[in-house]
Amino acid sequence: LQALNRAFGTLLQEVQALAQVVIVVLQGAVLGGGFGLACVSDIAIAAGQAQFGLPETRLGLLPAQIAPFVVKRIGLTHARRLALTAARFDG
């Protein structure tokens, strides 16, 4: 599990650092790591029914691995609210 977490963290850093434009199309559940991937993209196109959020809080976990990317994309106040409440929002 530790190796998988490190690999995912490396993936997020590498995607964010790419010189190419990264475009993601989002539908369904964009939660946790999926939300992190959306946050490192340059352009995110979401279906209206897509559900975004940080459900780790409901499991008693912090979304620590993706938190820096989420904060950079949506700002500290919104990221904090999502992390503390496990609230969801749609596309």
- Supply the range of the domain harboring residue 57: 2-90
The H or E element containing residue 45 is strand 43-46
Domain count for the chain: 1
Q: Is the pLDDT of residue 11 over 90?
A: yes
Q: What is the pLDDT of residues 34-59, one digit of tens each?
A: 999 999 999 999 999 999 999 998 99
DSSP 54: -
Its pTM surpasses 0.75: yes
- 89: Cα within 13 Å, side-chain hemisphere: 10
CATH number of the domain encompassing residue 37:
3.90.226.10
Q: Give me the pLDDT at residue 19, please.
A: 96
Tokens at residue 67, please?
A: 């938190």
Mean pLDDT of the chain: 94
Is the pLDDT assigned to residue 10 strictly greater than 90? yes
Q: What is the largest CA-CA distance in the chain?
A: 36
68-86 pLDDT, tens digit each: 999 999 999 999 999 999 9
